[in-house]
Structures are given as C-alpha cells and as structure tokens.
Amino acid sequence: MVQTVKQFLTDSYQLISANTPTVPLQGNDMSKGLQFLNQLLTSYSATGLMLTIAKEIVINVAIGQSNIIFADASYTGFADVKLGRLANLSDAWLLLDGVTYPLIIENRDVFLGSYKYDPQLGLPRFAIVYNQTDLTTVRIYPGASQVYELHVYGKFQLSQLGENDDMSSLPLYYTLFFQFAVARYLAAFKGRAAAWTPFLQEQYNEAKQDMESVSTVNVVIQSANESMLNGYWRVKSGV
C-alpha cells in the first residue's frame, strides 16, 4: 500500500514523539516535514549513492551534436531530456544498425587536461559528465558524424513532493530507511534532539547500509592509462 506524504510525515514524527498516534500534527510540523523531506531527496542526488533505482533513457543524437542536457521537468530552459537532473551515470552506449558502441565514461578533469582536436566529428567514443545546479550535461567526444541512438543508464534526481502527493516515486523497500532519515532531521531542527536515541541511530545506520548495498553506484577508482583522448584509439582501430 502506497502511503500519502502526509501519512509518511506523521509516522516520521511518531518516531521522535511521545504523543499517541491520534494526536494530529501541529503548527509548522507539516511544512517543516515537507522541507526536510525534499531537502534530503535533493541531497541524495549529489552522488546518487542513496538513490537506489536507476533507469534507461533512449534518445537520438543528431549529426554534429556533442552535448546532451538532462534537467527536471520544471526546468524552464532547453533540455534534451526533462526527467530529472542526471545524478549518476552508470553506463552509456550508442546503437546504429544493430551494432552497439559502448562509451567510455571519462573523468572530467582527465578530459579537460588532455589534448584533443575540437571540434571533431566521428564515432563518439567517450562520455564526460558535467554536473550543474539545475541540470547535468553529458558531452560525447568526438561529436556525432551521423544520427545515433544513445542509451543512458543512470540515476535521476527525484521530483519534489507536496503534501497532497504520495510516496509512489520511491520503492517500497526504501520507505523504512527514508522514514528514519526524515525523523532524524526533524528531531534536530524541531528541538527534539533528545528524542533521537542511540537505538534509533542504530536502526537508521542499519537501514542506510542496506540501501547502500543495493545501490548501483560504482565507487571503484579507475586509472586513466587506457584513456586515449588524443586520437590514438582512432589510428589503432582504423576509424
């Protein structure tokens, strides 16, 4: 059963309150609950580690295109994809005439520090992520010399929730962790810090570890030894 946001926040307050379940929220309890709930959802998209669900997006890349912009549906500027700011890119590949061309997700600093011919068109080989405040830009290099089908698999920032919304945007198994996470912040900012007991902290830690264990974020640091941004890969492959 999917909870409403109002019921979810009521349950979060119950973790740090001695009131009976029949006592309604008072004062700015609901507005503060919404504030911290949405702040947490936004902060989780910083690295994508605490966003456990990734999805695949498919778009067409035009001839000469080198930047693909991902933004939230509420973003008023131009964006190629408006399904949320891309929080973490796990995998990207191109598809043309039934052939898959994997893209190397290269570190932004390595890309900017390498020598390269720009502009250059051909078969895109690298994907470089530029994180920005309201959007994320993924640059493919070289730029596309023909129309490709681009597949992006990653995590996207979740939309803000309102009092009349429900929690269906989060997986059900995520609810327990998020319940403790919201209550933890409410305790600190609503003058109820003493109500956040060692037992609650232990439960929060266990739930957080469970969520991190199902995250698809790859935290392995890759060396740049195989990065051939200088065009050597084109000579080697005969492109």
pLDDT of residue 124: 93
Cα end-to-end span (Å), the chain: 54
Q: Which tokens go with 172?
A: 């059900």
Whole-number Å distance between alpha carbons of 112 and 225 = 16
Whole-number Å distance between alpha carbons of 83 and 158 = 9
Q: Which tokens go with 96?
A: 């043309």
Residue 1: helix, strand or coil by DSSP? coil
pLDDT of residue 223: 46
Helix axes 29-44, 175-189, angle to 10 degrees: 120
pLDDT of residue 229: 54
Residues 6+ apart with CB under 8 A from 185: 36, 39, 40
pLDDT of residue 21: 54
pLDDT of residue 200: 94
Q: Cβ of 150: how many Cβ atoms within 10 Å?
A: 25
In degrees and rounded to multiples of 5, residue 223 shows phi and psi of -80, 165
pLDDT of residue 224: 47
Domain boundaries, the chain: 5-49+162-196, 55-157+222-237
Q: Do residues 61 and 229 lie in contact, with contact meaning Cβ atoms separated by under 8 Å?
A: no
Q: Do residues 159 and 84 lie in contact, with contact meaning Cβ atoms separated by under 8 Å?
A: yes
pLDDT of residue 180: 95
- The one-digit pLDDT tens for each residue of the chain (239 residues) are 788 999 999 889 988 886 655 556 777 888 889 999 999 998 888 888 888 888 999 999 999 999 999 998 888 899 999 988 999 999 999 999 999 999 999 988 888 888 887 778 899 999 999 988 889 999 999 999 999 999 999 999 888 899 889 999 888 889 889 999 999 999 988 888 889 999 999 999 999 999 988 887 655 444 444 455 555 555 544 44
Q: Do residues 66 and 130 lie in contact, with contact meaning Cβ atoms separated by under 8 Å?
A: no
Distances (CA, A) of 129 to 49, 60, 133, 138: 16, 18, 13, 5
pLDDT of residue 110: 87
Residues 6+ apart with CB under 8 A from 220: none
Whole-number Å distance between alpha carbons of 98 and 100 = 7
